[in-house]
Amino acid sequence: MKKVMITPDLGKQLGRILYRDGICYLGYSASEIGILYSGNRIIADILTDDFRKEERLQGWIGVMVGEDSEPWKRIPLEAEEAEYLLFDREEYARYKGVAAESLPDKLAVRIIKYSEVAFGVAGIRYLLVDENATMEALPRKAKRLEFIGDSITCGYGIEGVWNVDEFCTAQENPMKDYAVRTANALDADYQLVSWSGIGLISDWIPPEVDEPDTTVLMPMLYPYTNRMFCERQGMEQEAWDFGKFLPDAVVIHLGTNDASYTREKPEREALYVEAYRKLYADVRSRYGKEIPVVCCLGIMDRTLCPVIDKMVQELHAEGENVHYVEFAGQREEDGIASDWHPSEKTHIIAAEVLTKKLRELI
C-alpha cells in the first residue's frame, strides 16, 4: 500500500478543517473528507488530544460508504495515535450481504467527525491506500448552508435517553440532527460551527449561580478555524478563510444557554441582543448583505424566543434579509435524549420546519 498525505485539495472537504505540520485535523461536528475510491482498503493513521484520557469523552469518527445513510463504521479514538481500518471492500460486501464483485468499481468513502470539537479532534497523519487505486473528489452540491449553534446543532446526546443514560460522546450524532437533516432535504453541502453549552454572553450556568460563564462564547470561536483546539495545544491561531465556503444561507441557533443567565431580566436581555447583533454583523461582513440569515430557537428553552423575534423584526425593518423560525418545544412523548436534549424525532420535526422556511428563501 502507498502512503497519501491529506492536503486541502484531496477529496471533497466540508467543515472548518485545520492543517498544521502535515496533519489534517477534523474538529467540528460533521466535518468530513469524501473521496470516490477504486481500491480495496483504506487505513488511516489518526491522532487525538487529551480528551481521550477522560472516560466516555473521547473523539469519534464515522465512515459512510456508497449511498448508505448509516455509517459502516463508527470508531472511538481511544489512543493518542493509531492506525484504523476505514474501508475494506470484502468486509463491506459481507456487511451489505453481496458479493464483492457486484460492488461498483468506485465507491464513495466519507470520513466524518461524529463527536464535537470540544471533545477531541481527529488528526489524520496519512492514509494507506492500494498502490494503483484512484481517489477522486465527490461532487459538490449546488447549495451551501452554514449553521452556527450549540449542543443541539452538535447532535449532543441524540442517541441517549434522559434519566437513563449518562452523556458520553458515543451518543453524539450530528448526521441525525436538525442541521444536517435540513441540508440533506435541500440537497445542500453544510458547515457546522457549534459547541455544547455555548452562548453569546454566557455559557450554561446552574440556577444557583448568578454570574455569567464567559469561558467559551461563540463570538470568540467564529473568526477562527479551530480556536480552542489551538489553545489546548499551544498552537498559533489560524483565522478562518471565509472564502472557502460561501453559503446560500446562514442559520443561527443560539440562546438556549444564554437564557440560563438572562432569566427574563431586561438589562441582561439587552446585552444578549447587543451580542447577537454583533455576531449578525460579523456574518454579514463575511458573506455580504444578500444571503438570508435565519435565527432559530425554542426546542429546549423558550425564554428568549420573543427577544429574538423582536430583534429580527427590527433588523428586517432596517432592510436586512433576516428571518425568525421558532421551533416547537420538545415533548416527552417524542422522547428526550441525554441531559434533557432533543431526541431524533424532535430533530426531525425541527428540520421539517426549517427546511420549509429555507425552501422559500433559497
pLDDT digits (tens, 9 = 90+) for 175-221: 999 999 999 999 999 999 999 999 999 999 999 999 999 999 999 99
Q: How confident is the model at residue 51 (pLDDT cuts 50, 70, 90)?
A: confident
Nearest-10 crossing angle of helices 305-317, 266-287: 50
Nearest of 218, 225, 166, 167 to residue 191 by alpha carbon: 225
pLDDT the model gives residue 161: 96
First and final C-alpha spacing in the chain: 45
pTM: 0.97
Given a cut of 90, whether residue 54 has pLDDT beyond it is no
- d(CA 272, CA 266) in angstroms, rounded, equals 10
Cell of 333: 412523548
pLDDT digits (tens, 9 = 90+) for 296-305: 999 999 999 9
Given a cut of 90, whether residue 60 has pLDDT beyond it is yes
- d(CA 101, CA 105) in angstroms, rounded, equals 8
Enumerate the domain spans of the chain: 2-137, 143-361
Superfamily of domain 2-137: Galactose-binding domain-like (2.60.120.260)
Q: What whole-number percentage of the chain has pLDDT above 70?
A: 100
Q: Which CATH architecture has domain 143-361?
A: 3-Layer(aba) Sandwich (3.40)
Check if the beta carbon of residue 306 is closer than 8 Å to that of residue 266.
no
Q: Judging by beta carbons within 10 Å of its beta carbon (0-12, 13-18, 19+), is residue 133 exposed, middle or buried?
A: middle
| Number of helices and strands in the chain (H, E) | 9, 19
Mean pLDDT score, 257-282 = 98
